[in-house]
Amino acid sequence: MESGSLSTKEFAAWTEDVIPFLHVTTRIPDWPGDGMLREYGGRGFPTLLFLDADGKKLSEPPGRDVATFASTATALGKVSDLKARVAKGEKGLEGKLLAAELELGTVDFPNAKARLAKIKKLDDETKAKITKLMVDAEILHLFTEAGRDQEKLAAARTRMAEMLRAGKMPGTRAESRFWSSIMQYADENGDAELFEKAVNWAKAKYADEPRAKTYLENLEKKLAELKEGKKEEPKP
């Protein structure tokens, strides 16, 4: 990322309103804070997080560009404002708060589902927003619950295939995990139709990345193999 968004003038300007902090994990014995990545639930390098002044994790931006950093910061401010208004006794904000927290990824699927069930009235716009955001929440929950259990991961892939067939599409926060799972499910089950949908997503996602050329070409070859496998054997 040093050669990407973190090296731009836009990022330098944006950091005037925040305090950037870099943690480098080492393998030096007894090095202070070396377990920070694990403690914050990081899954790889780099892991990007928003923390408050006390070091508490607030959110993980769904992208690695300055526009996403800025929108995440704005969303955090919105959540803080809504919580303050609710604390003061203002009514009718439960749905908007839930939507804002789902957008940030700061509430998991079971809790969001339980909170949604208690909300008696939702305007159409907020209801539609929550419905869409719950798709991402469920996808991420499936991965969290599965961990490294292969049977649970297989069940999660099956569930995502069901979601796709039902027209439930992921947002930015879960799309990569969703589509990679669809690819694996489709490959395992010889489903050329689902695999093609995943390939089309990948082509749109990585169209401007030269390094993805070989990856996309391999996907096209796999798709051709799956389609060929669907053809009926010639009758004698």
Task: Answer with the one of 52, 75, 90 that is the final residue of a domain.
Answer: 90
Q: Cβ distance 139 to 170 under 8 Å?
A: yes
Number of domains present in the structure of the chain: 2
What pTM, to 2 d.p., does this model score? 0.77
Q: Is residue 113 part of a domain?
A: no
Q: Is residue 86 part of a domain?
A: yes
Q: Which domain holds residue 28?
A: 1-90
Task: Answer with the one of 90, 109, 139 that is the final residue of a domain.
Answer: 90
Report DSSP state, residue 210. Answer: G
Q: Is residue 58 part of a domain?
A: yes
pLDDT per residue as tens, the chain (236 positions): 555 677 788 888 888 888 888 888 888 888 877 888 888 777 777 888 888 888 888 888 877 888 888 888 888 889 999 999 999 999 999 999 999 999 888 899 999 999 999 998 899 999 999 999 999 999 999 999 999 999 999 999 999 999 999 999 998 889 999 999 999 999 999 999 999 999 999 999 998 888 899 999 999 999 999 999 865 444 44
Distance between CA 38 and CA 100 in Å, rounded?
26
**Beta-carbon count within 10 A of 103 CB:** 24
Q: Is residue 204 part of a domain?
A: yes
Element (H, E) at 213: helix 213-230
Statement to judge: residues 85 and 168 lie in one domain: no
Task: Answer with the one of 66, 90, 114 that is the final residue of a domain.
Answer: 90
Statement to judge: residues 225 and 157 lie in one domain: yes
Statement to judge: residues 6 and 85 lie in one domain: yes
Statement to judge: residues 1 and 85 lie in one domain: yes
Distance between CA 15 and CA 169 in Å, rounded?
33
**Beta-carbon count within 10 A of 3 CB:** 6
Q: Is residue 133 part of a domain?
A: no
Statement to judge: residues 80 and 164 lie in one domain: no
Distance between CA 66 and CA 7 in Å, rounded?
11
Statement to judge: residues 73 and 4 lie in one domain: yes
Q: Is residue 105 part of a domain?
A: no
Q: Cβ distance 202 to 219 under 8 Å?
A: yes
**139 to each of 46, 55, 109, 156, how far by Cα in Å?**
22, 27, 9, 8
Statement to judge: residues 163 and 85 lie in one domain: no
Report DSSP state, residue 177. Answer: H
